[in-house]
Structure 1
Protein backbone atom coordinates (compact mmCIF):
# COMPACT_ATOMS: atom_id res chain seq x y z
CA UNK A 1 0.00 0.00 0.00
CA UNK A 2 2.86 2.32 0.91
CA UNK A 3 4.59 1.56 -2.40
CA UNK A 4 1.50 2.58 -4.39
CA UNK A 5 1.25 5.81 -2.40
CA UNK A 6 4.88 6.68 -3.11
CA UNK A 7 4.41 5.90 -6.80
CA UNK A 8 1.40 8.16 -6.96
CA UNK A 9 3.39 10.99 -5.41
CA UNK A 10 5.99 10.69 -8.15
CA UNK A 11 3.41 11.54 -10.84
CA UNK A 12 3.90 15.27 -11.51
CA UNK A 13 0.86 17.46 -11.49
CA UNK A 14 0.47 19.97 -14.31
CA UNK A 15 1.67 23.37 -13.21
CA UNK A 16 -0.91 26.11 -12.90
CA UNK A 17 0.75 28.16 -15.63
CA UNK A 18 0.78 25.14 -17.95
CA UNK A 19 -2.95 24.65 -17.43
CA UNK A 20 -3.57 28.34 -18.07
CA UNK A 21 -1.56 28.18 -21.29
CA UNK A 22 -3.59 25.20 -22.49
CA UNK A 23 -6.85 26.99 -21.71
CA UNK A 24 -5.66 30.11 -23.54
CA UNK A 25 -4.72 28.05 -26.60
CA UNK A 26 -8.15 26.35 -26.68
CA UNK A 27 -9.95 29.69 -26.24
CA UNK A 28 -7.90 31.33 -28.98
CA UNK A 29 -8.39 28.32 -31.24
CA UNK A 30 -12.14 28.47 -30.82
CA UNK A 31 -12.22 32.18 -31.63
CA UNK A 32 -10.06 31.87 -34.72
CA UNK A 33 -11.70 28.72 -36.07
CA UNK A 34 -14.99 30.59 -35.85
CA UNK A 35 -13.63 33.75 -37.48
CA UNK A 36 -11.39 32.30 -40.20
CA UNK A 37 -12.25 28.61 -40.58
CA UNK A 38 -10.59 25.30 -39.75
CA UNK A 39 -7.41 26.01 -41.76
CA UNK A 40 -6.34 29.13 -39.87
CA UNK A 41 -2.54 29.00 -39.33
CA UNK A 42 -1.61 27.56 -35.94
CA UNK A 43 1.05 30.25 -35.60
CA UNK A 44 -1.74 32.83 -35.63
CA UNK A 45 -3.59 30.94 -32.90
CA UNK A 46 -0.42 30.92 -30.78
CA UNK A 47 -0.02 34.65 -31.33
CA UNK A 48 -3.58 35.37 -30.24
CA UNK A 49 -3.17 33.12 -27.19
CA UNK A 50 -0.06 35.12 -26.23
CA UNK A 51 2.22 32.10 -26.17
CA UNK A 52 5.07 30.78 -28.28
CA UNK A 53 4.72 28.24 -31.08
CA UNK A 54 6.66 25.68 -29.04
CA UNK A 55 4.14 25.92 -26.20
CA UNK A 56 1.26 25.34 -28.61
CA UNK A 57 2.86 22.27 -30.16
CA UNK A 58 3.84 20.93 -26.75
CA UNK A 59 0.14 20.88 -25.85
CA UNK A 60 -1.25 20.00 -29.29
CA UNK A 61 1.12 18.18 -31.64
CA UNK A 62 -1.05 18.78 -34.70
CA UNK A 63 -4.11 20.64 -35.96
CA UNK A 64 -6.44 17.67 -35.43
CA UNK A 65 -5.57 17.49 -31.73
CA UNK A 66 -6.38 21.17 -31.22
CA UNK A 67 -9.58 20.97 -33.28
CA UNK A 68 -10.74 17.98 -31.25
CA UNK A 69 -10.07 19.77 -27.97
CA UNK A 70 -11.94 22.86 -29.14
CA UNK A 71 -14.98 20.83 -30.23
CA UNK A 72 -14.97 18.80 -26.98
CA UNK A 73 -14.67 21.94 -24.87
CA UNK A 74 -17.69 23.50 -26.60
CA UNK A 75 -19.77 20.35 -26.18
CA UNK A 76 -18.75 20.07 -22.53
CA UNK A 77 -19.79 23.67 -21.85
CA UNK A 78 -23.13 23.04 -23.54
CA UNK A 79 -23.58 19.88 -21.43
CA UNK A 80 -22.92 21.84 -18.25
CA UNK A 81 -25.55 24.39 -19.25
CA UNK A 82 -28.11 21.66 -19.99
CA UNK A 83 -27.38 19.98 -16.65
CA UNK A 84 -28.06 23.27 -14.91
CA UNK A 85 -31.33 23.68 -16.80
CA UNK A 86 -32.41 20.14 -15.93
CA UNK A 87 -31.70 20.81 -12.26
CA UNK A 88 -34.11 23.74 -12.28
CA UNK A 89 -37.86 23.49 -12.04
CA UNK A 90 -40.14 25.55 -14.20
CA UNK A 91 -41.32 25.79 -17.76
CA UNK A 92 -39.82 22.89 -19.73
CA UNK A 93 -40.08 24.56 -23.13
CA UNK A 94 -38.49 27.73 -21.76
CA UNK A 95 -35.51 25.62 -20.64
CA UNK A 96 -35.28 24.14 -24.15
CA UNK A 97 -35.39 27.61 -25.65
CA UNK A 98 -32.60 28.78 -23.39
CA UNK A 99 -30.48 25.83 -24.50
CA UNK A 100 -31.01 26.65 -28.18
CA UNK A 101 -29.99 30.29 -27.72
CA UNK A 102 -27.02 29.31 -25.53
CA UNK A 103 -25.84 26.92 -28.26
CA UNK A 104 -25.88 29.80 -30.73
CA UNK A 105 -23.68 31.82 -28.38
CA UNK A 106 -21.21 28.91 -28.35
CA UNK A 107 -20.93 29.22 -32.17
CA UNK A 108 -21.79 25.57 -32.73
CA UNK A 109 -22.73 26.20 -36.35
CA UNK A 110 -19.41 27.87 -37.12
CA UNK A 111 -17.49 24.91 -35.69
CA UNK A 112 -19.40 22.27 -37.65
CA UNK A 113 -17.23 22.58 -40.81
CA UNK A 114 -14.30 21.21 -38.77
CA UNK A 115 -16.06 17.83 -38.62
CA UNK A 116 -14.75 16.89 -42.05
CA UNK A 117 -13.75 13.53 -43.46
CA UNK A 118 -10.25 14.03 -42.06
CA UNK A 119 -11.61 14.50 -38.54
CA UNK A 120 -11.53 11.40 -36.31
CA UNK A 121 -15.13 11.33 -35.11
CA UNK A 122 -14.49 8.07 -33.24
CA UNK A 123 -11.79 9.42 -30.93
CA UNK A 124 -12.70 8.39 -27.34
CA UNK A 125 -12.68 11.97 -26.02
CA UNK A 126 -14.99 13.17 -28.78
CA UNK A 127 -17.33 10.18 -28.43
CA UNK A 128 -17.61 10.73 -24.65
CA UNK A 129 -18.42 14.44 -25.03
CA UNK A 130 -20.87 13.77 -27.85
CA UNK A 131 -22.75 11.01 -26.03
CA UNK A 132 -23.01 13.14 -22.90
CA UNK A 133 -24.49 16.15 -24.68
CA UNK A 134 -26.85 14.05 -26.83
CA UNK A 135 -28.26 12.23 -23.80
CA UNK A 136 -28.80 15.50 -21.93
CA UNK A 137 -30.51 17.16 -24.88
CA UNK A 138 -32.79 14.15 -25.32
CA UNK A 139 -33.73 14.42 -21.64
CA UNK A 140 -34.42 18.13 -22.02
CA UNK A 141 -36.59 17.55 -25.08
CA UNK A 142 -38.34 14.63 -23.37
CA UNK A 143 -39.33 16.86 -20.48
CA UNK A 144 -40.89 19.42 -22.83
CA UNK A 145 -42.59 16.62 -24.79
CA UNK A 146 -44.06 15.09 -21.62
CA UNK A 147 -45.35 18.49 -20.61
CA UNK A 148 -47.25 18.68 -23.89
CA UNK A 149 -45.22 21.70 -25.03
CA UNK A 150 -43.04 20.13 -27.72
CA UNK A 151 -44.52 18.65 -30.87
CA UNK A 152 -44.03 14.86 -30.86
CA UNK A 153 -42.73 14.49 -34.41
CA UNK A 154 -39.27 16.03 -33.85
CA UNK A 155 -36.12 14.39 -32.50
CA UNK A 156 -32.68 15.46 -31.31
CA UNK A 157 -31.32 15.32 -34.85
CA UNK A 158 -33.94 17.81 -36.06
CA UNK A 159 -32.96 20.21 -33.31
CA UNK A 160 -29.22 19.95 -33.95
CA UNK A 161 -29.59 20.35 -37.72
CA UNK A 162 -31.58 23.55 -37.23
CA UNK A 163 -29.14 24.96 -34.68
CA UNK A 164 -26.21 24.16 -36.94
CA UNK A 165 -27.76 25.69 -40.04
CA UNK A 166 -29.23 28.77 -38.39
CA UNK A 167 -26.04 29.66 -36.53
CA UNK A 168 -23.54 28.92 -39.31
CA UNK A 169 -22.09 32.14 -40.79
CA UNK A 170 -22.63 32.69 -44.48
CA UNK A 171 -19.49 32.42 -46.64
CA UNK A 172 -17.60 35.69 -46.73
CA UNK A 173 -19.39 37.24 -43.76
CA UNK A 174 -17.98 38.01 -40.35
CA UNK A 175 -19.67 36.33 -37.42
CA UNK A 176 -20.39 39.52 -35.45
CA UNK A 177 -22.53 40.80 -38.32
CA UNK A 178 -24.78 37.76 -37.98
CA UNK A 179 -25.52 38.17 -34.28
CA UNK A 180 -28.49 40.49 -34.79
CA UNK A 181 -30.19 37.88 -37.00
CA UNK A 182 -29.28 34.55 -35.36
CA UNK A 183 -31.38 34.77 -32.20
CA UNK A 184 -34.31 36.24 -34.12
CA UNK A 185 -34.35 33.30 -36.54
CA UNK A 186 -33.83 30.77 -33.77
CA UNK A 187 -36.91 32.13 -32.02
CA UNK A 188 -38.93 31.67 -35.20
CA UNK A 189 -37.73 28.07 -35.31
CA UNK A 190 -38.60 27.52 -31.64
CA UNK A 191 -42.12 28.80 -32.21
CA UNK A 192 -42.47 26.10 -34.87
CA UNK A 193 -41.50 23.42 -32.32
CA UNK A 194 -44.33 24.21 -29.95
CA UNK A 195 -47.25 21.85 -29.52
CA UNK A 196 -49.87 21.59 -30.78
CA UNK A 197 -48.32 21.35 -34.24
CA UNK A 198 -49.90 23.49 -36.94
CA UNK A 199 -48.71 21.32 -39.83
CA UNK A 200 -47.56 17.83 -40.67
CA UNK A 201 -43.83 17.48 -41.25
CA UNK A 202 -42.71 15.55 -44.34
CA UNK A 203 -40.49 12.53 -43.84
CA UNK A 204 -39.32 11.09 -40.53
CA UNK A 205 -37.72 12.75 -37.54
CA UNK A 206 -33.92 13.01 -37.79
CA UNK A 207 -31.94 11.13 -35.18
CA UNK A 208 -28.28 11.64 -34.35
CA UNK A 209 -27.56 8.28 -35.99
CA UNK A 210 -29.05 9.66 -39.22
CA UNK A 211 -26.66 12.60 -39.04
CA UNK A 212 -23.63 10.40 -38.46
CA UNK A 213 -24.54 8.14 -41.39
CA UNK A 214 -24.91 11.19 -43.60
Structure 2
Protein backbone atom coordinates (compact mmCIF):
# COMPACT_ATOMS: atom_id res chain seq x y z
CA UNK A 1 0.00 0.00 0.00
CA UNK A 2 1.33 3.42 -0.90
CA UNK A 3 1.81 6.21 1.61
CA UNK A 4 -1.01 8.12 -0.06
CA UNK A 5 -3.31 5.12 0.22
CA UNK A 6 -2.39 4.68 3.89
CA UNK A 7 -3.14 8.34 4.50
CA UNK A 8 -6.50 8.04 2.79
CA UNK A 9 -7.36 4.99 4.88
CA UNK A 10 -6.68 6.57 8.29
CA UNK A 11 -9.99 8.46 8.71
CA UNK A 12 -12.01 5.22 8.28
CA UNK A 13 -11.91 4.23 11.96
CA UNK A 14 -13.01 7.64 13.29
CA UNK A 15 -15.86 7.66 10.75
CA UNK A 16 -17.00 4.26 11.98
CA UNK A 17 -16.87 5.45 15.57
CA UNK A 18 -18.85 8.57 14.62
CA UNK A 19 -21.44 6.41 12.85
CA UNK A 20 -21.75 4.20 15.92
CA UNK A 21 -22.18 7.25 18.13
CA UNK A 22 -24.86 8.66 15.83
CA UNK A 23 -26.67 5.32 15.78
CA UNK A 24 -26.67 5.21 19.57
CA UNK A 25 -28.02 8.75 19.78
CA UNK A 26 -30.73 7.96 17.21
CA UNK A 27 -31.79 4.89 19.17
CA UNK A 28 -32.06 6.87 22.41
CA UNK A 29 -34.08 9.59 20.69
CA UNK A 30 -36.38 7.08 19.00
CA UNK A 31 -36.84 5.17 22.25
CA UNK A 32 -37.75 8.34 24.10
CA UNK A 33 -40.42 9.21 21.53
CA UNK A 34 -41.77 5.66 21.53
CA UNK A 35 -41.89 5.53 25.33
CA UNK A 36 -43.79 8.82 25.39
CA UNK A 37 -46.37 7.55 22.92
CA UNK A 38 -46.75 3.92 23.96
CA UNK A 39 -45.15 3.43 27.36
CA UNK A 40 -42.13 1.40 28.43
CA UNK A 41 -43.33 -1.86 26.86
CA UNK A 42 -43.21 -0.68 23.25
CA UNK A 43 -41.57 -3.39 21.07
CA UNK A 44 -37.85 -2.89 20.62
CA UNK A 45 -38.30 -3.71 16.93
CA UNK A 46 -40.43 -0.56 16.65
CA UNK A 47 -37.72 1.51 18.32
CA UNK A 48 -35.11 0.16 15.88
CA UNK A 49 -37.42 0.95 12.96
CA UNK A 50 -37.93 4.52 14.16
CA UNK A 51 -34.19 4.96 14.65
CA UNK A 52 -33.51 3.69 11.13
CA UNK A 53 -31.23 0.90 12.34
CA UNK A 54 -31.42 -2.88 12.37
CA UNK A 55 -32.28 -4.91 15.44
CA UNK A 56 -28.69 -6.12 15.64
CA UNK A 57 -27.47 -2.53 15.93
CA UNK A 58 -29.91 -1.82 18.74
CA UNK A 59 -28.82 -4.88 20.71
CA UNK A 60 -25.17 -4.15 20.04
CA UNK A 61 -25.65 -0.83 21.85
CA UNK A 62 -28.15 -1.90 24.52
CA UNK A 63 -28.23 -5.44 25.85
CA UNK A 64 -31.90 -5.34 26.82
CA UNK A 65 -34.90 -3.11 27.46
CA UNK A 66 -33.76 -2.23 30.97
CA UNK A 67 -30.42 -0.92 29.76
CA UNK A 68 -32.10 1.12 27.04
CA UNK A 69 -34.55 2.62 29.53
CA UNK A 70 -31.63 3.44 31.81
CA UNK A 71 -29.90 5.44 29.10
CA UNK A 72 -33.09 7.16 27.95
CA UNK A 73 -33.78 8.20 31.54
CA UNK A 74 -30.23 9.47 32.03
CA UNK A 75 -30.41 11.36 28.73
CA UNK A 76 -33.65 13.12 29.68
CA UNK A 77 -32.46 13.95 33.19
CA UNK A 78 -29.19 15.33 31.84
CA UNK A 79 -30.99 17.49 29.27
CA UNK A 80 -33.41 18.81 31.90
CA UNK A 81 -30.48 19.57 34.22
CA UNK A 82 -28.75 21.45 31.40
CA UNK A 83 -31.89 23.53 30.84
CA UNK A 84 -32.02 24.41 34.54
CA UNK A 85 -28.34 25.37 34.66
CA UNK A 86 -28.66 27.54 31.53
CA UNK A 87 -31.74 29.28 32.94
CA UNK A 88 -29.89 30.10 36.16
CA UNK A 89 -26.83 31.36 34.27
CA UNK A 90 -28.50 33.36 31.50
CA UNK A 91 -31.68 34.89 32.93
CA UNK A 92 -31.05 37.96 35.11
CA UNK A 93 -34.68 37.99 36.28
CA UNK A 94 -35.09 35.05 38.68
CA UNK A 95 -38.72 34.46 37.79
CA UNK A 96 -37.95 34.51 34.07
CA UNK A 97 -35.36 31.82 34.81
CA UNK A 98 -38.06 29.69 36.44
CA UNK A 99 -40.37 30.27 33.48
CA UNK A 100 -37.67 29.49 30.92
CA UNK A 101 -36.79 26.26 32.68
CA UNK A 102 -40.44 25.21 33.01
CA UNK A 103 -41.10 25.57 29.29
CA UNK A 104 -37.84 23.82 28.39
CA UNK A 105 -38.67 20.92 30.73
CA UNK A 106 -42.10 20.69 29.12
CA UNK A 107 -40.45 20.29 25.72
CA UNK A 108 -38.53 17.32 27.13
CA UNK A 109 -41.93 15.84 28.12
CA UNK A 110 -40.67 14.78 31.51
CA UNK A 111 -44.18 13.97 32.68
CA UNK A 112 -44.69 11.39 29.96
CA UNK A 113 -41.46 9.70 30.98
CA UNK A 114 -42.21 9.71 34.70
CA UNK A 115 -43.28 6.03 34.71
CA UNK A 116 -39.78 5.08 33.56
CA UNK A 117 -38.32 6.80 36.61
CA UNK A 118 -40.80 5.02 38.85
CA UNK A 119 -40.86 1.46 37.58
CA UNK A 120 -37.99 0.56 35.27
CA UNK A 121 -34.70 1.93 36.54
CA UNK A 122 -32.13 1.03 39.13
CA UNK A 123 -32.41 3.79 41.69
CA UNK A 124 -29.06 2.82 43.19
CA UNK A 125 -27.16 3.54 39.96
CA UNK A 126 -24.51 6.12 40.95
CA UNK A 127 -24.69 8.12 37.71
CA UNK A 128 -28.46 8.46 37.86
CA UNK A 129 -28.33 9.31 41.54
CA UNK A 130 -25.67 11.98 41.01
CA UNK A 131 -27.70 13.53 38.18
CA UNK A 132 -30.90 13.44 40.25
CA UNK A 133 -29.23 15.14 43.22
CA UNK A 134 -27.75 17.85 41.00
CA UNK A 135 -31.12 18.40 39.30
CA UNK A 136 -32.86 18.77 42.65
CA UNK A 137 -30.21 21.23 43.83
CA UNK A 138 -30.49 23.36 40.69
CA UNK A 139 -34.30 23.44 40.64
CA UNK A 140 -34.31 24.37 44.31
CA UNK A 141 -31.88 27.19 43.54
CA UNK A 142 -34.21 28.44 40.78
CA UNK A 143 -37.20 28.55 43.11
CA UNK A 144 -35.36 30.06 46.10
CA UNK A 145 -33.76 32.81 43.99
CA UNK A 146 -37.15 33.85 42.62
CA UNK A 147 -38.65 33.86 46.12
CA UNK A 148 -35.80 35.88 47.60
CA UNK A 149 -36.28 38.43 44.82
CA UNK A 150 -39.93 38.75 45.78
CA UNK A 151 -41.02 37.41 42.38
CA UNK A 152 -42.39 34.01 43.38
CA UNK A 153 -44.89 33.31 46.15
CA UNK A 154 -43.29 31.91 49.29
CA UNK A 155 -45.90 29.24 50.01
CA UNK A 156 -44.70 27.16 47.05
CA UNK A 157 -41.82 24.70 47.30
CA UNK A 158 -39.58 23.12 44.66
CA UNK A 159 -41.61 19.93 45.01
CA UNK A 160 -44.83 21.79 44.18
CA UNK A 161 -43.17 23.20 41.09
CA UNK A 162 -41.92 19.84 39.81
CA UNK A 163 -45.23 18.08 40.49
CA UNK A 164 -47.10 20.69 38.45
CA UNK A 165 -44.65 20.65 35.53
CA UNK A 166 -44.74 16.85 35.52
CA UNK A 167 -48.52 16.65 35.57
CA UNK A 168 -48.93 19.27 32.86
CA UNK A 169 -46.62 17.33 30.54
CA UNK A 170 -47.98 13.86 31.16
CA UNK A 171 -50.16 12.51 28.34
CA UNK A 172 -51.56 9.01 28.68
CA UNK A 173 -49.41 6.56 26.68
CA UNK A 174 -51.19 4.62 23.96
CA UNK A 175 -54.20 6.95 23.71
CA UNK A 176 -55.35 9.73 21.43
CA UNK A 177 -54.63 12.25 24.18
CA UNK A 178 -51.31 13.12 22.58
CA UNK A 179 -53.17 15.81 20.60
CA UNK A 180 -53.44 17.70 23.89
CA UNK A 181 -49.75 18.55 23.62
CA UNK A 182 -50.71 21.68 21.70
CA UNK A 183 -52.10 23.08 24.97
CA UNK A 184 -49.16 22.23 27.23
CA UNK A 185 -47.31 25.55 27.02
CA UNK A 186 -50.56 27.50 27.27
CA UNK A 187 -51.58 25.75 30.49
CA UNK A 188 -48.04 25.87 31.80
CA UNK A 189 -48.07 29.65 31.43
CA UNK A 190 -51.31 29.80 33.42
CA UNK A 191 -49.56 27.87 36.18
CA UNK A 192 -46.53 30.16 36.06
CA UNK A 193 -48.75 33.22 36.33
CA UNK A 194 -50.22 31.67 39.47
CA UNK A 195 -46.75 31.28 40.97
CA UNK A 196 -45.98 34.99 40.90
CA UNK A 197 -46.00 37.12 44.01
CA UNK A 198 -48.07 38.53 45.51
CA UNK A 199 -50.30 35.49 45.91
CA UNK A 200 -53.97 35.96 45.04
CA UNK A 201 -55.14 33.42 47.65
CA UNK A 202 -53.59 31.13 50.28
CA UNK A 203 -52.78 27.55 49.36
CA UNK A 204 -54.06 24.64 51.46
CA UNK A 205 -51.53 22.37 53.15
CA UNK A 206 -47.80 23.01 53.19
CA UNK A 207 -45.19 23.64 50.54
CA UNK A 208 -43.76 20.47 49.01
CA UNK A 209 -40.02 19.93 49.13
CA UNK A 210 -38.08 17.70 46.77
CA UNK A 211 -37.85 15.13 49.58
CA UNK A 212 -41.63 14.78 49.47
CA UNK A 213 -41.43 13.46 45.89
CA UNK A 214 -39.27 10.48 46.76
CA UNK A 215 -40.83 7.06 47.04
CA UNK A 216 -40.73 5.84 50.62
CA UNK A 217 -40.71 2.09 51.27
Q: TM-score range by the shorter chain?
A: 0.7 to 0.9
Aligned residues: 202
Q: 1:114 to 1:197 in 2, by over 3 A?
A: same
Q: Match for 1:204 among 191, 206, 209?
A: 206
- Partners of 2:121 and 2:86 lie apart in 1 by 30
TM-score, normalization: structure 1?
0.87
- Partners of 2:117 and 2:90 lie apart in 1 by 32
Determine the structure 1 residue equivalent to 2:104.
102
Segment drifting more, 107-116 vs 166-175: 166-175
Determine the structure 1 residue equivalent to 2:194.
192
Contact 1:35 1:174 in 2 (8 A): no
- Partners of 2:204 and 2:31 lie apart in 1 by 39
**Does residue 173 of the first structure (1) align with residue 176 of the second (2)?**
yes
- Partners of 1:154 and 1:147 lie apart in 2 by 14
Determine the structure 2 residue equivalent to 1:5.
none
TM-fit CA distance, 1:45? 0.4
The runs of 4+ residues in structure 1 deviating greater than 4 Å are none
Q: 1:29 to 1:118 in 2, by over 3 A?
A: closer
Determine the structure 2 residue equivalent to 1:46.
48
Three-state SS of the structure 1 residue aligned to 2:59 is helix
Contact 1:26 1:66 in 2 (8 A): yes
TM-fit CA distance, 1:118? 4.3
TM-fit CA distance, 1:121? 2.0
Q: Match for 1:78 among 68, 77, 80?
A: 80
Determine the structure 2 residue equivalent to 1:146.
148
Q: 1:26 to 1:144 in 2, by over 3 A?
A: same
- Partners of 2:182 and 2:50 lie apart in 1 by 26
- Partners of 1:66 and 1:180 lie apart in 2 by 28
- Partners of 2:38 and 2:103 lie apart in 1 by 22
Determine the structure 2 residue equivalent to 1:17.
19
TM-fit CA distance, 1:180? 2.2
TM-score, normalization: structure 2?
0.86
Determine the structure 2 residue equivalent to 1:34.
36
TM-fit CA distance, 1:174? 4.4
Q: 1:118 to 1:70 in 2, by over 3 A?
A: closer
Determine the structure 1 residue equivalent to 2:122.
120
> Which runs of 5 or more residues in structure 1 are unaligned?
1-11
> Which runs of 5 or more residues in structure 2 are unaligned?
1-12
- Partners of 1:118 and 1:49 lie apart in 2 by 21
- Partners of 1:104 and 1:118 lie apart in 2 by 21
Three-state SS of the structure 2 residue aligned to 1:120 is coil
CA-to-partner distance for each residue in 1:48-73, whole Å, 9 max, x for gaps?
A: 11111122112111111111211111
